[in-house]
Structure formats: C-alpha cells, structure tokens
A and B are shown apart, each in its own frame.
Chain A
C-alpha cells in the first residue's frame, strides 16, 4: 500500500503527467499572445509598407518606405510629436512630484493611514473615460466648478489651444499620481529604520538625510514608476479624446486615431504607429540604462 502521495503521483492517478499540466497552463496564454499581440504586430508592419485602406476594396499596393518618408516630412506630425513630448514632460513630472510628495507624507505613523492610502488610490481605479467626462464637467467654461471656484469667468480650458494640453495633463496627474505614490511608498517603507537612527545620531539634518539616505535607496523604484508613466503618457489617448474631441494641438495618438479611423489611411497610420513604437522603446531604454546603473551603485 502507498503511504505517501507526492503531487506527481496524485496527478498520475488522474492520468495527467506534469508535462500535460504544464501545457494546460502555458498553451492558452501563448496562443492568446500570438493571436492578439504578435500577429497584429507583424500584420500591421506589413501594412506600413503599403497604401492599404481598411475602408476600400482595393488591393494593397506595396509602396516601400514611402509612408515613412511622407510622415517624417510632414510638419503637422512633427508638431504633434513636439506637443506630445511637452505633454509627457508636464504630466509625468507632475505625477512624480505629487505622487512622491504624497508618499513622503504618508510614510509616517498617522492615524487612519490605511484608509487614507486606499482613498488616495481611487482615481487610479476609475475608467479613463469616466475620469475624462468628470473633468470635462469640471472644466466647463460656463457652469464648470473650476471657473466658479477660482473666479476665472469663462476660461475655455478645453477649447483654448494653449490651455487644453495643461487641462488634460492636470487630469492625468490627478488620475495617475496615486500610482507613483504607491510605488514610492513601497520603496520608502523598504528603507531600513536603523539607517535613519544612525543618521540622527550622526547629527545629519533632515534634508541631508533625505538626499544621502532616502533618495539613493528609493531611486530604482522611482525610476520604474517613471518608466511606466512615460510610456503611458506617450500613448495618452482616451482622456484626451473624451475631453477635447478633435483639438488643434493634438497628441500623436489622436493624430494616429484620425489617420487610421477618420481618414482610413491604414497604411500610413501603421507606419506612424511603428515610428511611435520605436520612439517609446528608445525612451524606455534610456531609463532602463539609468535603472541598471542606479541598482549597481
């Protein structure tokens, strides 16, 4: 009689080998990835070299690098890139300052800390479309609460080409600072308490301790937060679309949307998407280099 049952033998009695079980878990995931990620990625790469239009029956003609050349020569698209870059800088640095600041405030014994943290995380959990609609109401020039509260008359936050970018960025900051806060909080609470005690005994000022002890230790996790937020900010579409519709100063993703689904230029849109992808990869790579350096030190 068998007295012990190892997991293997238990599975074996059911007629499943370890390999079968492994495949059962892995194959659906891999299949899903290939169908919904890898295949479209390659398929659209193909489109980017053609003049294909998803709205017409005409067969796609191979045009080589023409789409790429057209896009890179188009001043409108370059303006979109510049707008996007500025948006990324404003939004991510805003999220960084607010998020890290909140984390520093929360990283101390205060009553109701758990509840407070959860409440602060709420914006992050909302749907971007809902957030966009809320803020659209807040920003409304004639009866929005923002103009009312600040006494700004009829400032047109979302239709003024100079203001719309900041209005969207503020919304993005509101929504995603909690994310930076959450990661920072994890980093801050991982700093050993005895280092602060040593520093206080060494008569280091609070500021000196912050820059020489806290910051170097949380830098890697802060960088990870910034990487995530930069990638996301670069791709911002939903909030901007809901809030501003078709603005003059448009983000690159809005431009992309217009090309692909308003003008049905599927080929050139694919090319633009690839250019954006390469740019995001480059930016991320720079961060990853810094991250590795920060970890090494």
Chain B
C-alpha cells in the first residue's frame, strides 16, 4: 500500500494546458476522489500517476520515491477504466491471470490460482470464470476488470470513471461494493468521477478540479457545507444549491430586489454579494415571512423538490413528500439563517468560509 504525492504537476498538450500546478497528497489507505466536470484534467492527472503520460512539469512520488522516470509497469499501480479494457477472446480466468503471467512476477500456477480464487470470490464472479468476456453484461465486465486489479495486489488502485458506463441501479450497487472492497483491502484508491454522488458517498477526501486546477480539497462534508467558491457549491449537491444575487446590510439580506430575510453573520461584509442556500435549508410553511408561487414540482419519492418563483427569480426547496403543492399556488417560505453562504459577487469566493 502506498502514499501518493503530486508536487506542482502540470501537463500541456501543445498549447492546451490540461493540468496546471496541481499538488495533492493522498495518504496510505485513503479513498481519494478527483471530482470535476468534463475537461477538468482528472483523467490526465490519473494517467500521469499511472505513468501513461509524462508531466510537463512537477514531480510524482509514490511512497516518497520520485517515480518520474518510471514506466507504468514499474510503478506497480492498477488501473480500471470506464471502457473495462478486458482482453478480448480470452476467458474471464485468463483475463484475471494476464497480469500475473508477466515475466517480472514469475508466479507459480498454484499461486496464480489462489489469487484468482480470492479475487473472484471477493467480487462474486466465480461462476463466470470460464466464460468469454464478450458474453458478459456491463456490470460483470466491470467486476472482472476490477478483479484484474485485485489479483495484482498493487500499491495503489487507480479508477477512471469505472461506473459511468453502467445503468443507475448497478452503479448504486457497485458503488457500495467498491467502498466496501477498499475498506477490506485497506488499499489506497484514487477514483476519478464527474458524478458528485459517487464522490460524496465513497470518498474519504475529495479534490474538486476545474479547468486543470484544484479548487478545493476536503472531506465530503467539508466540500458540501463549506465550499470554497460558487463553482464547488454548485457542482456538489443535487438538487443544486440556489445562488442568488443580492446585497447585505447589517443582518438583513436583500435578495434580488425581491425579498428580504435575516442571516446569521460571521463575516464583516457589506454591499453586493451572492447568497448561497441549499434546497434543504429553504422551508415552505404557512406563516413564513415571504411569499412565492410554485413554479414546478418534482416528485422524488422520499421528498419533493419544488421550484419557487419570487419575482423574476427561481429558487429550489426540498419539502417532505406528504406536503401537497400545486403549480402556480401561492406559498410562504423562509430559510435557515445559519446555513446561508456568502460569496463574493465578483470572484465567487466564499466570504464566510474564508473567515471561519
């Protein structure tokens, strides 16, 4: 198992900078998630750790050893890709044995069998061992490709969106399986995803990337409750946070020239700001201070997401499923004054978070 450290790593493809000045430190046995939208540089970062790409600048350390000059084979990392990358025309067993047959390892057949046995039991694919890979379903293929990583007992598991080609139910199931697996193996995982739900549910820590730069590194709770800027705030969380322009005078927030509401202050700010409030912190109750109309209702089963219209502005709120609301109905709402986030109107940086 291993500790991975990236020190000011940059990667340029021609004139395009995919990753710039990126530093992270992944502890041994940690489930570390690289989260960001398409083109944020997550995959490039992962490929540099794997040794498939060479950084244009900066250094990578595995267990405090500089591995810049090492090829992928020497780094002893396992990589699981979105496209499964199973070797075609080989059976599942042969696919699992493939990395063990390498000359570098010189493993005996009984040892190989033992490892395949362990991996296939762990992933519950024992019954598939003699099947050809093109006869497998998507979920089975991804299990096999994870199995191919497990048999190697690598220093670190690198996963590049391994779940995004699967359907929703399967994704959910494999998500908890993967997390469970990581805890049992006690291995270091670096997991790339654009799905914030995966990041929140599996990660010990999350690095949020945007345009090749790290915006924030922190625990899922950290990133959710104390986002560094409006990008992180809106990228993490579903339904997305409400970001509303307005201004602050004393303890009173006046939002989008439509309504006023109190907030609990912790930063000494006056004047124009962007307010951020998560849907679950918006309350729809009779007798609340402000009026809005129901613009839209989404039924999610355990709760309803209602979109409120206040003047020209739309604002989402999560309400319990039992609350009956109709479109265009007038309702009253308030927010939890402790949970309102303040962002700089120009830079988008979190004002309260910086001070706290």
Binding site for B on A (CB under 8 A): 192, 194-195, 197-205, 208, 212-213, 216-217, 297
Residues of chain B in range 64-81 having any CB-CB distance to chain A below 8 Å: 71-73, 77-79, 81
Chain A residues within an 8 Å CB radius of B238 = none
Say whether B99 contacts A202, CB under 8 Å.
yes
**What are the 4 closest A-B residue pairs judged by CB atoms, nearest first?**
A202-B99, A203-B102, A198-B85, A203-B73
Choose one: B85, B101, B132; the contact of A195 (CB below 8 Å): B85
Known: A200-B71, A201-B73, A204-B99. A192 touches B83 (CB 8 A): yes
| Cα of A212 to Cα of B132 in the assembled complex, Å | 14
Say whether A212 contacts B72, CB under 8 Å.
no
With both beta carbons as reference points, the residue of chain B lying nearest to A217 in the complex is identified as B88
Say whether A198 contacts B88, CB under 8 Å.
no
Known: A208-B101, A208-B102, A212-B98. A201 touches B78 (CB 8 A): yes
Choose one: B73, B78, B81, B87; the contact of A200 (CB below 8 Å): B73
Say whether A216 contacts B73, CB under 8 Å.
no
| Cα of A208 to Cα of B90 in the assembled complex, Å | 13
Chain A residues within an 8 Å CB radius of B52 = 197, 200-201
Choose one: B72, B81, B105; the contact of A194 (CB below 8 Å): B81
Q: Is B104 an interface residue (CB 8 A)?
A: yes
With both beta carbons as reference points, the residue of chain B lying nearest to A191 in the complex is identified as B88
With both beta carbons as reference points, the residue of chain A lying nearest to B50 in the complex is identified as A201
| Cα of A31 to Cα of B353 in the assembled complex, Å | 83
Chain A residues within an 8 Å CB radius of B72 = 197, 200-201
Say whether A203 contacts B132, CB under 8 Å.
no
Shortest Cβ distance from residue A79 to the other chain B in the assembled complex, whole angstroms: 42
Say whether A201 contacts B79, CB under 8 Å.
yes
Say whether B77 contacts A201, CB under 8 Å.
yes
| Cα of A197 to Cα of B99 in the assembled complex, Å | 12
Report whether over half of chain A's contact residues are helix, strand or loop; otherwise say mixed. Answer: helix
Say whether B89 contacts A198, CB under 8 Å.
no
With both beta carbons as reference points, the residue of chain A lying nearest to B103 in the complex is identified as A205
Say whether A297 contacts B132, CB under 8 Å.
yes
Shortest Cβ distance from residue B78 to the other chain A in the assembled complex, whole angstroms: 7
| Cα of A194 to Cα of B82 in the assembled complex, Å | 10
With both beta carbons as reference points, the residue of chain A lying nearest to B102 in the complex is identified as A203
Say whether B73 contacts A212, CB under 8 Å.
no
With both beta carbons as reference points, the residue of chain A lying nearest to B81 in the complex is identified as A194
Say whether A197 contacts B89, CB under 8 Å.
no
Chain A residues within an 8 Å CB radius of B83 = 192, 194
Known: A197-B52, A212-B98. A202 touches B148 (CB 8 A): yes
With both beta carbons as reference points, the residue of chain B lying nearest to A216 in the complex is identified as B89
Q: Is B278 an interface residue (CB 8 A)?
A: no
| Cα of A212 to Cα of B105 in the assembled complex, Å | 18
Say whether A202 contacts B102, CB under 8 Å.
yes
Chain B residues within an 8 Å CB radius of A198 = 79, 81, 85, 87
Say whether B102 contacts A205, CB under 8 Å.
yes
Q: Is B205 an interface residue (CB 8 A)?
A: no
| Cα of A199 to Cα of B71 in the assembled complex, Å | 12
Shortest Cβ distance from residue B356 to the other chain A in the assembled complex, whole angstroms: 43
| Cα of A212 to Cα of B81 in the assembled complex, Å | 19
30 A–B contacts, CB within 8 A, in A order: A192-B83, A194-B85, A195-B85, A198-B79, A198-B85, A199-B87, A199-B98, A200-B52, A200-B71, A200-B72, A200-B73, A201-B50, A201-B72, A201-B79, A202-B98, A202-B99, A202-B102, A202-B152, A203-B99, A203-B105, A205-B102, A208-B102, A208-B103, A212-B87, A212-B90, A212-B98, A216-B88, A216-B89, A217-B89, A297-B132
| Cα of A219 to Cα of B77 in the assembled complex, Å | 31
With both beta carbons as reference points, the residue of chain A lying nearest to B82 in the complex is identified as A194
Chain B residues within an 8 Å CB radius of A217 = 88-89
With both beta carbons as reference points, the residue of chain A lying nearest to B105 in the complex is identified as A203
Known: A201-B72, A202-B98. A297 touches B89 (CB 8 A): yes
| Cα of A224 to Cα of B148 in the assembled complex, Å | 33
Known: A200-B71, A202-B99, A203-B102. A195 touches B87 (CB 8 A): yes
Chain A residues within an 8 Å CB radius of B148 = 202
| Cα of A216 to Cα of B105 in the assembled complex, Å | 24
Chain A residues within an 8 Å CB radius of B98 = 199, 202, 204, 212
Shortest Cβ distance from residue A257 to the other chain B in the assembled complex, whole angstroms: 44
| Cα of A241 to Cα of B83 in the assembled complex, Å | 53
| Cα of A271 to Cα of B71 in the assembled complex, Å | 64
Chain A residues within an 8 Å CB radius of B102 = 202-205, 208
